[in-house]
């Protein structure tokens, strides 16, 4: 639904909610700069002390950076709204924005979500545009670790199953390096692959031992991580390997093979802390995929009914609180301190608080926030945070032919430009899907100059270099290519900090003038669904606490 005028904004909502939201939509009002009532302050995060929220517990499978138990918060809900609920505008209908809206509605507030595109989900983007309607492909995250307990809570709530993801090194894998094809498996790994993985495990073992001894002591755990951050925060992934006396050959080979999910060479320039956190928390262990598509989570958040302020059960969808095709272009403030959001359609919406879930790369180019509403640290984080490039090329196939007896085609890691290749079959159709190329950074950007036909043709040629002429081509039905950095509203795949950029998180995790930032990029799990959910809960919880009275 687009907010074109007050008539179209009227939905079948509870009376108080409808009156309040209708009064906040000013139809067709052109954006005008409105003088504010002060400059941005370095706002501190509201404390839960003195609120009605029960203390949350340490999450043993949490992050080393924080000990807040988001899963417990998800179960018990946000603090209930007081006499006057807050009207909260949420920019972006991805996992973070939808969850914040659902939980705020559950707490008795009035959330309204503005989404620029025609669909909900953000990077929970499942494409179903293949010849076989039961074949689907994930443009965003494909893998979910079981230790991401906030995510698992909501998947369980919506009865969404998972199954094991066919990661390299965890299933039979073909390694095509320097023109040589070899096969390894968890039970019979190639000696040189095993040696490389053991080399990596030895490098991070001292960190694991230090943190494991303190993991269940919240204060000691965060203090120890602070020491690690101080020592290694200015070191890149490549710097760390060099510091461990890895040879150039080992570094380049590890760039292609990685430690369980494919080559990590494109990540060599990012902060070592980003990689260390993944390994310490075991996010790469026993990874799963969401059966039926990641967009099921988005639809679950959109359609799940919660008990609202009037005691009845509604979903965001029931109340028409998610507005697609409604890009917000400006954020300002009126003399009463309310935030004014202007849309591309020329409407203005007044909000008590705003949650911005867009990536900082998109904020720079597509959202004009009045300068003094944020502090200089937040602006610096918006301008300078690094976002990874990422591209995928998919081939729909007539059948999952690689499962036939005698086929050697399997999950593949190579030093060719396609890099990682993954194979997918589906329970309710014979059709198959090959993610023939999954790439990051420079490996991704080199494909941009090619249209989908050329991408498909070149990627098939490369995979057939490994498996033989006509081993792939006769089975292909359609092809689909995607790059997040080419998409308006995103302009990058996911945030990964360069060395010495971690203070940007602290800047964006603090609210300023009732503007909160969320999304996986404003979390300690950038690039993961868990990070998006946690950040949405964090922002919603802080708003609920602030507007509790």
Residue 214 is predicted with a pLDDT of 86
Query: CA 403 to CA 1: how far, in whole Å?
Result: 44
What residues are paired with 483 via a beta bridge? 391
Residue 42 is predicted with a pLDDT of 33
pLDDT (average), residues 179-192: 94
Residue pLDDT, tens place only, 307-332: 988 899 999 999 999 999 999 999 99
More confident site: 18 or 85:
85
More confident site: 60 or 483:
483
3-state helix, strand, coil in the chain (%, to 5): 35, 20, 45
For 208-223, b/e burial (b = at least 16 CB within 10 A) is: eebbeebbeebeebee
Residue 1 is predicted with a pLDDT of 25
Residue 10: pLDDT over 90 = no
Half-sphere exposure at residue 421, Cβ-oriented, CA atoms within 13 angstroms: 28
The bridge status of strand 368-369 relative to strand 339-343 is: unpaired
More confident site: 338 or 331:
331
**Nearest of 302, 235, 307 to residue 1 by alpha carbon:** 302
Residue 264 is predicted with a pLDDT of 83
Residue 333: pLDDT over 80 = yes
Query: CA 357 to CA 521: how far, in whole Å?
Result: 9
Q: Which of 28-42, 187-201, 211-225, 295-309 has the lowest mean pLDDT?
A: 28-42
Query: CA 348 to CA 24: how far, in whole Å?
Result: 8
Residue pLDDT, tens place only, 68-111: 889 999 999 999 998 899 999 999 999 999 999 999 999 999 99
More confident site: 45 or 332:
332
How many CB atoms sit inside 10 A of residue 96's CB? 34
Confidence at 517, pLDDT banded by 50, 70, 90: very high
Residue 434 is predicted with a pLDDT of 98
Residue 251 is predicted with a pLDDT of 95
Which residues lie closer than 8 Å to 345 by C-beta, 6 or more apart? Answer: 2, 3, 4, 326
Residue 231: pLDDT over 50 = yes
Residue 285: pLDDT over 80 = yes
Average pLDDT value for the chain: 89
Q: Where along the chain do its domains lie?
A: 6-122+293-364+505-546, 187-280
**Nearest of 500, 491, 495 to residue 523 by alpha carbon:** 495
The DSSP secondary-structure symbol of 336 reads: T
Query: CA 339 to CA 373: how far, in whole Å?
Result: 10
**CATH number, domain 6-122+293-364+505-546, options 3.30.70.260, 3.40.50.300, 3.50.50.60, 3.90.1170.30:** 3.50.50.60
CATH code that applies to domain 187-280: 1.10.405.40
The DSSP secondary-structure symbol of 498 reads: P
- Specify whether the CB–CB gap between 43 and 35 falls below 8 A: no
* C-alpha angle 412-413-414 in degrees, rounded to nearest 5: 115
pLDDT (average), residues 13-28: 78
More confident site: 120 or 44:
120
Residue 6: pLDDT over 50 = no
Residue 170 is predicted with a pLDDT of 79
Residues 344, 330, 388, 103, Cα dihedral to 10°? -90
Confidence at 260, pLDDT banded by 50, 70, 90: low
Residue 51 is predicted with a pLDDT of 32
Residue 261 is predicted with a pLDDT of 67
Residue 25 is predicted with a pLDDT of 80
Residue 410: pLDDT over 50 = yes
The DSSP secondary-structure symbol of 129 reads: -
pLDDT (average), residues 190-206: 92
Residue 32 is predicted with a pLDDT of 36
Half-sphere exposure at residue 85, Cβ-oriented, CA atoms within 13 angstroms: 25
More confident site: 489 or 309:
489
Residue 188 DSSP SS3: strand
Structure-block tokens of residue 400: 């999952």
Residue pLDDT, tens place only, 421-471: 999 999 899 999 999 999 999 999 999 999 999 999 999 999 999 999 999
Query: CA 432 to CA 103: how far, in whole Å?
Result: 37
**Nearest of 353, 342, 335 to residue 512 by alpha carbon:** 353
């Amino acid at each position: 639904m687009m907010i074109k005028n007050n008539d179209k904004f009227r939905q079948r909502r509870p009376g108080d909610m409808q009156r309040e939201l209708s009064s906040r939509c000013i139809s067709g009002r052109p954006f005008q700069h409105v003088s504010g009532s002060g400059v941005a302050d370095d706002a501190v995060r509201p404390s839960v002390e003195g609120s009605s929220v029960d203390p949350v517990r340490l999450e043993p499978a949490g992050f080393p950076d924080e000990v807040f138990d988001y899963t417990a918060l998800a179960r018990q809900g946000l603090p209930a709204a007081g006499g006057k609920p807050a009207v909260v505008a949420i920019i972006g209908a991805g996992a973070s924005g939808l969850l914040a809206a659902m939980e705020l509605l559950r707490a008795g507030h009035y959330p309204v979500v503005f989404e620029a595109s025609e669909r909900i989900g953000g990077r929970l983007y499942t494409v179903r545009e293949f010849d076989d309607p039961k074949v689907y492909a994930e443009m965003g995250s494909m893998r979910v670790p079981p230790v991401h307990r906030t995510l698992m809570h909501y998947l369980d709530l919506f009865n969404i199953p998972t199954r094991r993801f066919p990661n390299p090194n965890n299933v039979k894998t073909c390694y095509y390096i320097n023109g040589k094809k070899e096969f390894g498996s968890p039970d019979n790994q190639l000696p040189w692959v095993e040696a490389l993985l053991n080399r990596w495990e030895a490098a991070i073992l001292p960190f694991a031992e230090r943190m494991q001894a303190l993991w269940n002591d919240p204060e000691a755990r965060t203090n120890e991580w602070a020491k690690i951050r101080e020592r290694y925060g200015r070191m890149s992934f490549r710097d760390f390997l060099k510091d461990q006396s890895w040879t150039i050959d080992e570094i380049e080979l590890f760039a292609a093979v990685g430690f369980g999910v494919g080559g990590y060479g494109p990540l060599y320039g990012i902060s070592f802390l980003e990689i260390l956190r993944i390994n310490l928390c075991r996010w790469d262990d026993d990874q799963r995929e969401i059966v039926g598509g990641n967009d099921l989570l988005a639809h679950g958040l959109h359609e799940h009914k919660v008990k609202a302020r009037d005691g009845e059960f509604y979903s965001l969808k029931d109340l028409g609180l998610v507005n697609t095709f409604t890009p917000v272009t400006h954020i300002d403030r009126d003399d009463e301190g309310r935030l004014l959001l202007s849309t591309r359609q020329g409407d203005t919406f007044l909000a008590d608080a705003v949650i911005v879930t867009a990536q900082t790369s998109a904020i720079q180019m597509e959202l004009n926030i009045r300068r003094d509403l944020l502090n200089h640290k937040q602006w610096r984080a918006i301008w300078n945070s690094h976002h990874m490039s990422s591209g995928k090329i998919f081939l729909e196939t007539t059948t999952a032919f690689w499962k036939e007896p005698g086929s050697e085609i399997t999950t593949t890691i190579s030093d060719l430009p396609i890099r990682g290749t993954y194979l997918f079959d589906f329970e309710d159709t014979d059709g198959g899907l090959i993610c023939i190329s999954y790439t990051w950074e420079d490996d991704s950007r080199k494909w941009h100059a090619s249209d989908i036909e050329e991408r498909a043709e070149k990627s098939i040629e490369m995979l057939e270099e490994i498996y033989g002429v006509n081993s792939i081509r006769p089975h292909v039905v359609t092809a689909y290519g995607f790059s997040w950095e080419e998409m308006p509203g995103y302009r990058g795949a996911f945030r990964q900090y360069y060395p010495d950029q971690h203070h940007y998180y602290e800047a964006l995790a603090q609210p300023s003038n009732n503007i909160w930032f969320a999304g996986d990029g404003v979390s300690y799990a950038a690039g993961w669904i868990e990070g998006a959910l946690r950040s949405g809960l964090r922002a919603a919880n802080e708003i609920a606490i602030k507007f509790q009275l």
